[in-house]
A and B are shown apart, each in its own frame.
Chain A
Amino acid sequence: MKFTKYLFTLFLLSLAATVWGQAATAPAPDPAADQLPRLMTYILVIAAAALFIVAMVYVVNINQFLYRRVLDLEASKSGVKLPGETAAAAVPVADSFWTTLRKKYWEDAVPIEREHEILSHHDFDGIRELDNRLPPWWVNLFLITIVWAGIYMYYYHWGGNGPSSTEEYKMETEQAQKQQTAALAGIANDVDESNVVALTEGGALGEGELIFKNTCAACHGQLGEGTVGPNMTDEYWVHGGGIKNIFKTIKYGVPDKGMIAWQSQLSASDMQKVASYILTLQGTNPPNPKAPQGEIWKGEAPADSTATPAPQTGTGG
């Protein structure tokens, strides 16, 4: 029974330690990018968590010991003899090796029954002070953090080659670029405004609708009826209708008119899906339509259509 308490406390604390461990590592999906600073953090967090656990065990330990003492005292007052150990023996015994070690590096509190030896003679409004040694583990913790601080400053500023915030950013983006290229290789994501075609398959259009509702509806209305942005359901287009123009407007945006460039937030295939979905809104006549803007789009010219929307201008239509 006695140990279940310990075990439970330890279990809870180890959970806490895991959480902290994750805290330190979770944002680094790529360990190669900046291994050393993360590693240092990791070590620090684990060391701190370990110390925390040990400190808590120590506190629990003391409490149980004291509680036992209180029981002993109560028992001796009322003359009851408790099973198990009784009050500490009065004969001083030389410390064992382990006790010496513990007192030196861990804890060295004077036991309660001998605390009168270190009690201040003076009192402040009845409050007296013991002159217990600083808990050695606490002193060690303090020293470790000071040493860590020196190493950290050396590594990042005084001589080491720790990366600056902006260097970390550069490494992060370069790494992401590589991953992105790898992920896109072989996938039909090399869609762009020159070769995009309208999708008609239901699944793709469903995904397009979801993207529309999440990202486009704020300005173009839940049903594409237009609010701040133009109506998507009529045959008038400000920057050109047809899958290629729509794709291009989504991709590069029209910054002057408030249309966001979505290429950093949507993949090419997502933009193709949402553009295809927008085409299906033609003629749906939703309630509260916004008045037409732009010109009637008469469809793409048959032969030289790919040349018309010049991508370098960015703000066609």
Chain B
Amino acid sequence: MSRIEQFQYDNRIVRAFGMATFIWGVVGTLVGLTLAFQLIYPELNLSQTGIPYLSFGRLRPLHTNAVIFAFIGNGIFMGVYYSLQRLLKARMISDALSWIHFWGWQAVILCATFTLPLGITTSSEYAELAWPIDILITLIWVVFGINMFGTILKRRESHLYVAIWFYIATWITVAILHIVRSIELPYSLFGSYPLFVGVQDALVQWWYGHNAVAFFLTTPYLGIMYYFMPKAANRPVYSYKLSIIHFWALIFIYIWAGPHHLLYSALPDWVQSLGTVFSIMLIAPSWGGMLNGLLTLRGAWDRVRQDPVLKFMVVAVTAYGMATFEGPMLSVKSVNAISHFTDWTIAHVHVGALGWNGFLTFGVLYWLWPRMYRTPLYSVKLANIHFWIGTLGIIFYAVPMYFAGWTQSLMWKEFTPEGTLAWGNFLDTVTQIMPMYAMRALGGTLFFVGVCIGVYNLIKTAGQGSFLSNEAAEAPAREPRPVSTAGQYWHRWIEQRPIQMLLASAVLISIGGIVQIIPMVFVESQVPKISTVKPYTPLELAGRDIYIREGCVGCHSQMVRPFRSETARYGEYSKSGEYVFDRPFLWGSKRTGPDLQREGGKYPNSWHYNHMIDPRTMSPGSIMPQYPHLADNELDLSELPAKISALRRLGTPYPAGMEERAITDAQQQAKKVAGKLKEEGIKDEGMETKEIMAIIAYLQRLGTDIKVEPGGR
């Protein structure tokens, strides 16, 4: 037998990620709470005071990024760095890499904290960060990978435990998702246009966005569950076979389900259907994880009463089970017809984020802190209070949002017997659900208070204990060759071969993406051309980039679905050929305000002008932020030549020499817009050089191309 080796586990890196987890947990939920209140009191956007940085459109991506990548991201690394060392019986291969990983990741988050409020965004959900930050993320992710695989390779344990399978699949899939989603052509230090366009961009986005949920919020957390839940319950994992089947099935099937975010959109039907059927097939693999978690508690349920750690974990796994049942149901087209674009989706993601990720994180934190600080938890009572107030918070968040989504959707779809929309004024469907928004803010407040209590409890625990930086351990060295697995379960073979496991995961997760994306990109017939659809003019392009900067896409969709209730309200339903020059696509995923795909020509310029400066003058009761700075800011056209040439390189057929003409062309069009405003009685002077010209020009262009007679422009 090999000799026993002495070594130490690195707890400092775990503590660092743990502290980052709860600090960003507070920040992320606080930003979310701010958004909840902004939806009730639009003045809280502060944009009416001329400060544009904190309006809903700019804060929303900050909230999602802070919760996903800062709070949950650091939670993943905390769990991985603690469990990986122990499951492999080895210290991380390099402390230096661990700390580069830690500070690099915090740097990414800090960059996001500044760039997103500044309006530097790609507008692709959960991939909003500018291209230099994308590169930084890639580098840090590679550092994490080297550190993790280095440790796996020099492990003392011959086999890899199920948690590590999940970590491996997470690492490779997130790497692929991030790189493919972030292929973009820069035109300035922070600006870029994506490689994919229109419908393809939408498909790639939701292949990415959906699998960010799958491989950032789910698989690493399942790995964490597989370590911390049996540890906390002191029970064996229920079924090894279930682990195997649900792991491979989960990673293979998940990747296909992205198009369920685009049901009834301009995406071809066959891709939508694949999204639906793979979502349904995902129920069992997802529940496999829930079952293996809950059934591991067999024989420990009596302790769930007393131990707050187990309480948090049980609710987390239950929330996971609910969310992974609801998700497939929302992917059925006739359910999606109701739920999509409404607050139902918001409720769904918060059951996952607050319940599954949030509660599992706090369960782990409450388990880890006393162990690393070698002291009992400061207050079990406070932990219980946190548990109950957090649970109530989730309920008060989710239930009103279900009602809100349901109510609003039915109002959107209601017709009078004479065949007109019963709620023709979109705003009526918003004011109807304001009480639900207020309830949601209450739920969010409860959850936030719980988080603060948790942080206090952890700080006090740290204060009363003494931290164990390097935890001594010993284990026999590993035989250099894999142990023979003859006669054992077939899966034992791959459990000793991390590289093969990495490759197998990579192959499995690639199949779905390849089948869906490749035909969309390379088969021209998938996106039928419309001859009258032309590229944006330079001024409209500038306006579109302002639309992106202000985060308008957070509340306004640009996708009229083929339903009578939508064509009656907005106009002809959207065709894939209309988006062939949209980089990035701006279909949106939530209609807090009305769809804008057919906005062009609906209202006069002066309506838009007044509405931007103060929406409530044109629509009393509107909850849209004010944008007076658009009428103050000088329109910066200097980047137009670079934008035009970047877009041409990506395939937009701008004529040669357009770069030189772009600025004067834009100025002329701005003069026309300003002239029209004058005609309509707007008295403010000097508007032709302001940003508001560009956004009005863009809005007036939206969706009008298909109304042009061929050869008419």
Chain A interface residues (CB < 8 Å from chain B)? 20, 23-28, 37-38, 41, 44-45, 48, 52, 55, 59, 62-63, 66-67, 69-70, 109, 112, 115, 119-120, 122, 124-135, 138-139, 141-142, 145-146, 148-149, 152-153, 156-157, 164-166, 168-169, 172-173, 176-177, 179-180, 183-184, 187, 189, 214-215, 217-219, 222, 227-228, 255, 257-258, 260, 264-270, 290-291
Residues of A with C-beta under 8 A to B264:
165
Contact between B298 and A152 (Cβ–Cβ < 8 Å)?
Answer: no
Cβ-based interface call for B658 (8 A): no
Complex-state Cα separation, A296 to B264, whole angstroms: 50
Instruction: State the 9 A-B residue pairs at the shortest beta-carbon distance, nearest first.
Output: A258-B604, A180-B419, A142-B284, A149-B277, A169-B562, A265-B424, A132-B239, A267-B418, A183-B417
Instruction: Flag if A141 contacts B284 (CB, 8 Å).
Output: yes
Q: Contacts A52-B325, A169-B564, A265-B568; is A214 near B241 (CB within 8 Å)?
A: no
9 examples of A-B residue contacts, CB within 8 angstroms: A45-B332, A125-B231, A129-B237, A133-B241, A142-B285, A184-B418, A219-B607, A258-B606, A269-B418
Most chain A CB within 10 A, of B273, B334, B417, B681, is at B334
Contact with A258, one of B159, B273, B607 (Cβ below 8 angstroms): B607
Q: Is the pair A148, B568 in contact by a Cβ cutoff of 8 Å?
A: no
Cα-based distance from A119 to B296 in the complex (angstroms): 13
Contact present for B281 and A145 (CB under 8 Å): yes
**How far is A59 from B231 in the complex, measured between Cα atoms in Å?**
21
Q: Which of B227, B231, B281, B419 contacts A149 (CB 8 A)?
A: B281
Which stretch of B121-129, B535-543, B615-623, B685-693 is in the interface?
B615-623
B238 with A132: CB separation less than 8 A: yes
Q: Are A27 and B417 in contact (CB under 8 A)?
A: no
Distance between Cα atoms of A128 and B605 in the complex (Å): 69
Across the interface, do B227 and A165 meet the contact criterion of CB distance under 8 Å? Answer: no
> Residue B114 at the A interface, CB < 8 A?
no
Chain B residues within CB distance 8 Å of chain A: 83, 86-87, 89, 157, 159, 161-162, 227, 230-231, 236-243, 245, 249, 264, 269-270, 272-274, 276-278, 280-281, 283-285, 287-288, 291, 294-295, 298-299, 301-302, 325, 328-329, 332-335, 337-339, 410, 413, 415-421, 424-425, 428, 562-564, 567-569, 573, 601-607, 610, 617-620, 680-681
A63 — which chain B residues lie within 8 A by C-beta?
301
- A145 CA to B424 CA in the complex, in Å? 40
B231-A127 in contact (CB<8A)? yes
Closest to B85 in A: A125
Establish whether residues A23 and B329, one from each chain, have CB atoms under 8 Å apart when the complex forms.
Answer: yes
Give chain A residues whose Cβ lies under 8 Å from the Cβ of B273: 152-153, 156-157
A126 touches B231 (CB 8 A): yes
Q: Is the interface of B mostly helix, strand, loop or mixed?
A: helix
Given A124-B87, A128-B237, are A266 and B424 also a contact pair (CB < 8 Å)? yes
Known contacts A28-B334, A145-B281, A145-B284: A134-B418 contact under CB 8 Å: no
A266 to B276, CA, bound (A): 36
Question: Hey, which chain B residues are within 8 Å of A132, CB to CB?
Answer: 238-242, 295
- The CA of A119 and the CA of B237, in the complex, are separated in Å by 9
A62 & B562 in contact (Cβ 8 Å cutoff) = no
Chain A residues with CB under 8 A of B328: 48
Bound together, the chains give a CA A139 to CA B618 distance in angstroms of 57
Given A67-B301, A149-B280, check contact A24 B618 (CB 8 Å).
no
CB-defined contacts of A126 to chain B, threshold 8 Å: 231
* Residue in B295, B332, B601, B603 with the greatest tally of chain A CB atoms within 10 Å: B332
A134 touches B239 (CB 8 A): yes
B418 touches A172 (CB 8 A): no
Tell which of A109, A152, A157, A270 touches B295, judged by Cβ atoms closer than 8 Å. A109
Query: Are A62 and B295 also in contact (CB < 8 A) when A149-B278, A265-B568 are?
Result: yes
**Cβ of B338: which chain A residues have Cβ within 8 Å of it?**
23, 26-27
Q: Are B334 and A20 in contact (CB under 8 A)?
A: no
Q: Looking at the complex, which one of B230, B573, B606 makes contact with A169 (CB distance below 8 Å)?
A: B573
Q: Given that A69-B299, A189-B418 are contacting pairs, would A138 and B424 also be in contact in the complex, using a CB cutoff of 8 Å?
A: no
Also in contact, A264 and B420, with CB within 8 A (given A41-B332, A148-B280, A228-B680): yes
Q: Which residue of B lies closest to A135 (CB)?
A: B291
Residues on A with beta carbons closer than 8 Å to the beta carbon of B299: 66, 69-70, 112
A48 touches B283 (CB 8 A): yes
**A228 and B278 contacting across the interface, CB-CB below 8 Å:** no
Shortest B130–chain A CB gap in Å is: 35
Q: Which residues of A contact B325 (CB under 8 A)?
A: 48, 52
8 Å CB contact of A27 from B237, B277, B278, B413:
B413
A142-B291 CB under 8 A given contacts A20-B329, A66-B299, A214-B425: no
Contact present for A138 and B288 (CB under 8 Å)? yes
A126 vs B562: C-alpha distance when bound (angstroms): 56
- In the complex, what's the smallest C-beta–C-beta distance from A19 to chain B, in angstroms? 9
How far apart are the CA atoms of A143 and B309 in the complex, in Å? 35
The reply to whether A130 and B240 contact each other, CB–CB distance below 8 Å, is yes
- Apart from the given pairs A131-B241, A132-B242, 12 other A-B contacts in the complex at a CB distance below 8 Å: A48-B328, A48-B329, A125-B86, A125-B89, A128-B230, A132-B239, A132-B240, A153-B274, A215-B424, A257-B604, A265-B420, A267-B418
Collect the chain A residues with CB atoms within 8 Å of residue B87's CB.
Answer: 124-125
Question: B242 and A145: CB pair below 8 A?
Answer: no
Complex: A185 Cα to B187 Cα, angstroms: 61
Contact residues in A for B278 (Cβ distance below 8 Å): 149
Whether the Cβ atoms of B564 and A173 lie closer than 8 Å is: yes
CA distance A146 to B278 in the complex (A): 9
Most interface-central of B89, B240, B419, B681 (chain A CB within 10 A): B419
- List of B residues within 8 angstroms of A109 by Cβ: 238, 295, 298
A268 vs B420: C-alpha distance when bound (angstroms): 10
Q: Is the CB of B236 within 8 A of A119?
A: yes
